[in-house]
Amino acid sequence: ADAAVVPALVIGTGYGGSVTALRLAQAGVDVHMVEMGMAWDTPGADGKIFANTTTPDQRSFWLRTRTKQPLSNFLGFPIDKTIPKYTGILDAEEFAGITVYQGRGVGGGSLVNGGMAVTPKRENFADVLPTVNPDEMYNTYYPRANAELGVGLIRPAWFDTTDAYQYARVGRKHAQRSNFPYVFVPTVYDWNYMEQEAAGTVPKSALAGEILYGNNYGKKSLQKSYISKIRATGRVTISPLHRVVSVVPATGGYKVTIEQLNTTGDPIAVKEVTAAKVFFAAGSVGTSKLLVKLKATGALPNLNGEVGKGWGDNGNVMCGRANHLWDPTGALQSSIPTLGIDNWAAGGAFAEVAPLPTGIETYASFYLSITRTPNRAQFTWNAAAGKVDLNWQTAWKSVSINAAKTIFDKINSKEGTIYRTDLFGVYKIWGDHLTYHPLGGAVLNKATDNYGRLQGYPGLYVTDGSLIPGCTVVNPFVTITALAERNIEKIIATDF
């Protein structure tokens, strides 16, 4: 074990961790970032860093021997396949009642997500973070987050004409015909690049269906935004394939125990670092699992009873609709969604019109809905099994299904169409087994104070999606980024 002392250690390199590390470094603080996933900076045998969605390989999944694709079936047939076990990019982490998809690597969820960068409507903000002043968020921190992430909108004239968004135009038409408000969803994709992809002048990425297993060109992941600025400060060390397993109080701060992993996920070395301050940014699930374990096993016994509580799935539920033959959705579909149907006020659902980039005409419309749901689960330490459990129940998704139906039952009845039953199994309409949007587990102003300081342990902070109590009304990463900007500004001003 090598010994070292760092002023600030950040666990995880997703949105919360990247914001925190950048602002600390700009304030003159040296930072060590620890990331269990890979660096994702080196091309594979095919010359590309990331695998395509249609041809998953070892790079695609975190320590699995078989893919676990969110859409498990097509025309009723299972499409998962055997792959070598590897520290790949997408983790399909299984808990009792739900599979939680997460990104693994330097950049966290930004490596695998759809890039939809949505700021909640201000009128709904009290449902998202009830103890945060909306003025400071909407005047300062949401604009700051949007600017740093590089958020932008599709050019409307291009949307109206490109083959790649025919599926979204069909989605818009159906929304309009059933009188649902629709919105253009901002994204972190480089829209000029996508137009060049369509023109055939640059290598294709969104228009080649790249999304779930990484995006080789046009998407501005954190690697291209916050993390490139982090590197430019010269004050931050990033250690990929290193996983934090323990944090305990020690002279001068906290002793952090870190396992170095090989690419089949086995620990090959154990290191100890003393850090004056430690920022938990391992994502909602990663941070919750660490804190619950450390409290229960006596490493951090004074963490309060709110740790592990308030976890939600952002009401995620998926479905497909079968269109008539005169309503084709297109063989070419951009992997980056850009249109949403907003029925939040009336029905508690905000539905993204999502692509089905299969490369063939499917006559299908596919949607990811974010819904209002009261259900919250809790992480607990399972001493017998030596792991953290989550008590989510699949049946809780019925609330989300009912909310999504307020949109799609109406559209189906207006269009004379039906739901697809072949995407999630054999005769199964609803994708109710998963979430892409884990939130909560160390809720702001409950497990922490109103700025993410963990109660009972000066110098320990939470900075990621675990602060948000289960729902962001829309897609979460802009809110996670803006909240981290708000919290670290206060912490730098008062704690350093």
246 or 323: CB nearest ligand FAD: 246
Question: Which of the following is catalytic: 210, 352, 415, 485?
Answer: 352
2 or 416: CB nearest ligand FAD: 2
Which amino acid type is present at position 452? G
Q: Report, in Å, the least distance between residue 289 CB and ligand FAD.
A: 7
Q: Report, in Å, the least distance between residue 437 CB and ligand FAD.
A: 5
DSSP states along 212-269:
TT--SSSB--TTTTHHHHHHHHS-EEEETTEEEEEEEEETTEEEEEEEEE-TTS-EEE
> 270: Cβ–Cβ under 8 A, 6 or more apart, which residues?
1, 257, 258, 259, 260
CA angle 367, 146, 30 (to 5 degrees): 120
For the chain, what's the residue count?
496
15 or 430: CB nearest ligand FAD: 15
Q: Beta strands 31-34 and 73-74: pairing type? A: unpaired
Q: Report, in Å, the least distance between residue 116 CB and ligand FAD.
A: 3
306 or 327: CB nearest ligand FAD: 306
End-to-end C-alpha distance for the chain, whole angstroms: 28
Residue 98 bridge partners (DSSP) = 95
Q: By the 8 A CB rule, do 369 and 351 touch? A: yes
Q: Report, in Å, the least distance between residue 40 CB and ligand FAD.
A: 10
Give the interface with ligand FAD as residue ranges (CB under 6 A).
11-16, 34-37, 101-105, 108-109, 112-116, 212, 243-244, 281-284, 286, 290, 436-437, 464-465, 475-477, 480
Q: Which residues of 431-467 are buried (b: 16+ CB within 10 A; e: fewer)?
A: bbbbbbbbbbbbbbbbbbebbbbbbebebbbbbbbbb
Q: How many CB atoms lie within 10 A of CB 160?
A: 11
Question: Which of the following is catalytic: 242, 437, 485, 489?
Answer: 437
Q: Report, in Å, the least distance between residue 123 CB and ligand FAD.
A: 19
> 481: Cβ–Cβ under 8 A, 6 or more apart, which residues?
15, 16, 19, 145, 148, 149
Element (H, E) at 491: helix 477-495
Q: Report, in Å, the least distance between residue 327 CB and ligand FAD.
A: 25
Q: How many CB atoms lie within 10 A of CB 99?
A: 14
311 phi/psi in degrees, rounded to 5: -90, 135
352 is catalytic: yes
Q: Report, in Å, the least distance between residue 200 CB and ligand FAD.
A: 26
Q: Using alpha carbons, list the distances in angstroms from residue 365 to 352, 357, 362, 435.
A: 11, 11, 8, 19
190 or 415: CB nearest ligand FAD: 190
Q: What's the CA gap between 69 and 90, in Å, rounded? A: 10
Catalytic residues: 352, 437
